[in-house]
Structure 1
Amino acid sequence: MKGLIWIVCLLSSLTYAIEPIAPIPQTLPYDPQKAALGQKLFYDPILSKDYSISCASCHKRAYGGTDGESVSVGIYQLQGNMNAPTVLNSTFNFKQFWNGRANNLREQALGPIHNPIEMGFSAAEAVSRLKKIPEYKESFQTITKRSLITSDDIADMIAEYEKTLITPNAKFDLFLKGKSTLSYEEQEGYNLFKTLGCATCHNGVNVGGNSFQKMGVIIPVKWDQKSSDRYALTKREIDKNVYKVPTLRNIALTAPYFHDGSAPTLKDAVKRMSYHNLGITLSDQESAYIISFLKTLTGKLPKTSLYR
């Protein structure tokens, strides 16, 4: 199934090869039964130790698939140290989490459940709780054709639901397809986005999410040893302050920004990234143009999605 998704993305990229960004496809193949069960699990706090949060607690529609907080809060009001990445269009990411510790959505789905300061449940505890609910037990059995529920089954259902959370038909996608035009400000912003070098890292279907890059590659930023960057996984000095490049899809909705939520506004994020990663100090006018372009990346959830 993952192969089919990337074939669709590749074909889109080939069609619009002259541009660094490709439109989001209208639909992706998915299993409706699995997605329906995954949706139920996504919104149910049953998978958190104290029944206080669900996946949806940190991935809300109103905030573009994030939670609007600098860092997320888990069970027993425990505070994390990372900004919640958007769940929207996450199926297009080449890795999941800021440091890429999950290879796909199935691996990612279990991460928050097992994290002691997020949902705080072991695989065995999560399975045990679900097995006690007849409705869940029956739903899993109908899909998997067996009475046993595993943690992999839980991940499979949630990941299948998350495949449906794509946002095609952004104004910029329609522009690429010749179905819309950009305003002067939006076009100027896109021109700057390309000529200044933003598109070097933010490209492809997801306008990011397809590489690891250092934050502060030109003008360094202070390293936070508590941050979950690539160094936390590899212990290589070169990986300090290295993160997965975030998607810019729906970016106007997902403040605050960066891995630590330290940029409160889109203007602040644009100026800081331009300074630290491009070595450029943008004028207010240039920032305004780029922000105008970024707002054209806000898409629409497909009609098949019941994301709330």
Structure 2
Amino acid sequence: MSPIYRRLGPLCLAAAALAAAAAPLDEPIKPVPLTLHQDPARAALGKRLFSDARLSSNNAVSCASCHNVAQGGGDARARSAGFRGKLGAVNTPSVLNAALNFRQFWDGRADTLEAQIDMVIRNPVEMGSSWQEIMGKLAADAGYRSGFAAAYRDGLTVANVRNAIASYERTLITPNARFDQYLRGNRNAISEAEQAGYAKFKQYGCVSCHQGVNVGGNMFQKFGVMGDYFASRGGVNDADLGRYMVTHNTDDLHVFKVPSLRNVARTGPYFHDGSAATLEQAIDVMFKFQLGRTGSKQDKAAIILFLNTLNSVPTEQP
């Protein structure tokens, strides 16, 4: 062995081992991008609008009333209250990582965040407002007038208000979950027990619907593949019809957008009807009605350990 190899060989081997340890993993779940590169001025306007109750007809609720960014992006209620206190038809999904969903709402009726914002504004239960009414309020605010004039060539318009809110929402991604660090190559980011939980998540088939960058949010699926969830619950209402209410295709009865599992440990209650108060209850329902399998108490606990590695906070730019 040459003197040079004796001196450099161990260093080369150590460097190779470090590089291998840092190699990204090829898994069904993909890491959240570090940024979606939004215009800071537009996102800052959107952040202000997100918390502005003047978007509702009676100035009673804002987007933030139902989407608490500091607490997982939801409101911890089975169904949220609208501008007159009436409850909505379904559970409020988290706004965190919503930009990574392929459609918006449980029934997928909105293709974009901008379309989702428009539908919430005009919904007779949620905000009950109109763009004519909103633009009158915003135009009377000098801060909004100057802010939009600086951020948009055509200033304060309906399209720009929608875009500003959506720009802010696109900053509400959570790329620094421990599981994302693990996927990017940090093998020590999650424990062996959490890795075992992820293995169970895959082995039982959860990953067939909950995969991709948002651990869901990229497909539709029937609720009750392996059993009649609604009969077990005690009946059906219009909100349970799911995507059928959009397409009127009988194949879409009880079909919903698969929810993202990012921050799922922080965003109960669960399902479109908010019927599962705890993550343990939700997993039991999934095993019975989606997988048709019986999981041991230990395996379910292991999966919950894994799901907790998906928790993170947004890295908003403004």
Moved more, 221-230 or 116-125: 221-230
Aligned partner of residue 76 in structure 1, secondary structure: coil
Does 2:92 correspond to 1:80? no
1:220-259 deviation per Cα after TM superposition (whole angstroms, max 9, x unaligned):
2226332061011111111111110100001110010001
Q: Which residue of 1 aligns with 2:12?
A: none
Whether the 8 Å CA contact 2:71–2:266 is kept in 1: the answer is yes
Does 2:51 correspond to 1:43? yes
Match of 2:308 among 288, 291, 295: 295
Match of 1:101 among 105, 109, 116: 109
Aligned pairs (5 A) from 1:107-122: 107-122=115-130
Moved more, 180-189 or 271-280: 180-189
Q: Which residue of 2 aligns with 1:175?
A: 182
Q: Which residue of 2 aligns with 1:258?
A: 271
Aligned pairs (5 A) from 1:134-149: 134-146=142-154, 149=156
Whether the 8 Å CA contact 1:91–1:163 is kept in 2: the answer is yes
Whether the 8 Å CA contact 2:81–2:88 is kept in 1: the answer is yes
1: CA distance, partners of 2:242 / 2:158: 26
TM-score (norm 2): 0.87
Whether the 8 Å CA contact 1:230–1:239 is kept in 2: the answer is yes
Amino acid at match of 2:277: P
2: CA distance, partners of 1:254 / 1:179: 26
2: CA distance, partners of 1:111 / 1:38: 17
Relative to structure 1, is the Cα distance of residues 16 and 235 closer, same or farther in structure 2, using a 3 angstrom cutoff?
farther
Aligned partner of residue 77 in structure 1, secondary structure: coil
2: CA distance, partners of 1:119 / 1:157: 18
Amino acid at match of 2:275: S
Q: Which residue of 2 aligns with 1:158?
A: 165
2: CA distance, partners of 1:305 / 1:68: 25
2: CA distance, partners of 1:259 / 1:127: 32
Amino acid at match of 2:236: D
Quote how far apart the aligned CAs of 1:73 are.
0.4
Q: Which residue of 1 aligns with 2:226?
A: 218
Moved more, 160-169 or 184-193: 184-193
Amino acid at match of 2:238: K
Q: CA RMSD in A?
A: 1.6
1: CA distance, partners of 2:304 / 2:243: 28
Does 2:132 correspond to 1:124? yes
TM-score (norm 1): 0.90
Does 2:246 correspond to 1:233? yes
1:179-232 deviation per Cα after TM superposition (whole angstroms, max 9, x unaligned):
243323212211111111110000011100000000111112226332061011
1:111-163 deviation per Cα after TM superposition (whole angstroms, max 9, x unaligned):
2111111111012111122112222122222222335x332221110000011
Whether the 8 Å CA contact 1:252–1:294 is kept in 2: the answer is yes
Relative to structure 1, is the Cα distance of residues 17 and 103 closer, same or farther in structure 2, using a 3 angstrom cutoff?
farther
2: CA distance, partners of 1:224 / 1:129: 40
Whether the 8 Å CA contact 1:16–1:22 is kept in 2: the answer is no
Whether the 8 Å CA contact 2:261–2:310 is kept in 1: the answer is yes
Match of 2:260 among 244, 247, 261: 247
Amino acid at match of 2:252: D
Q: Which residue of 1 aligns with 2:17?
A: none
Aligned partner of residue 258 in structure 1, secondary structure: coil
Relative to structure 1, is the Cα distance of residues 113 and 151 closer, same or farther in structure 2, using a 3 angstrom cutoff?
same
Q: Which residue of 1 aligns with 2:213?
A: 205
Q: Which residue of 1 aligns with 2:291?
A: 278
Amino acid at match of 1:239: D
Whether the 8 Å CA contact 2:88–2:125 is kept in 1: the answer is yes
Quote how far apart the aligned CAs of 1:16 are.
5.3
1: CA distance, partners of 2:116 / 2:53: 17
2: CA distance, partners of 1:28 / 1:135: 26
Whether the 8 Å CA contact 2:25–2:183 is kept in 1: the answer is no
Quote how far apart the aligned CAs of 1:288 are.
0.4
Unmatched segments (≥5 aa) in structure 2: 1-22
Whether the 8 Å CA contact 1:250–1:298 is kept in 2: the answer is yes
Larger Rg: 2
1:22-55 deviation per Cα after TM superposition (whole angstroms, max 9, x unaligned):
1112222111111010000001101011111110
